[in-house]
Amino acid sequence: MKKRGVINQQLSNALAGLGHGDYFLLCDAGFPIPKEAERVDLALTFGIPNMDQCLKAILDEIVVQKVTIAEEMKDLNDEGYQFIKRVFKNQKLCETSQEELVKLANNAKFIVRSGELRCYSNILLEAASGVDIFKNDFIIDPAQI
């Protein structure tokens, strides 16, 4: 058994299978996940786990070089938007329409569904090899999640 990190077998396997430049989506509870997509469903109930909790667990496992969010997040989910900006200081942060993000999800390697209810809490994450410039130097206090 693992000593730490992601213990959800499906998520652990999916993250371990990422290569440089592969991307996947971490989405909220209401995202329209395509039928063909590999779905890693972490949602237990509405709000649990939330985006912040899922992101913390994922970023403990992988390095991300690029992040894409819906531009609607900025106006309709400022709390989530500010969190993303604090977490991804070293990564390229792109904004696109929610409509385009839904289209991009069709080619994602997999989609991780959280129980998040804040609107537009959908993040496309592009993996990087273990390059130091992309490593996150943040700590999410579990008491704040």
DSSP codes of every residue in 3-53: SSS---HHHHHHHHT--TT-EEEEE-TT----TTS-EEE---BTTBS-HHH
Q: What is the pTM of this model?
A: 0.89
20 is catalytic: yes
Check pLDDT > 90 for residue 143. Answer: no
Average pLDDT, the chain: 91
pLDDT digits (tens, 9 = 90+) for 28-57: 999 999 999 999 999 999 999 999 999 999
Residue scoring higher pLDDT (45 or 142) = 45
Q: What is the pLDDT of residue 133?
A: 54
pLDDT digits (tens, 9 = 90+) for 63-119: 999 999 999 999 999 999 999 999 999 899 999 999 999 999 999 999 999 999 999
Q: What is the pLDDT of residue 142?
A: 47
Per annotation, catalytic residue among 7, 13, 17, 20: 20
Q: What is the pLDDT of residue 2?
A: 81
By C-alpha distance, which of 112, 3, 21, 6 is closest to 59?
6
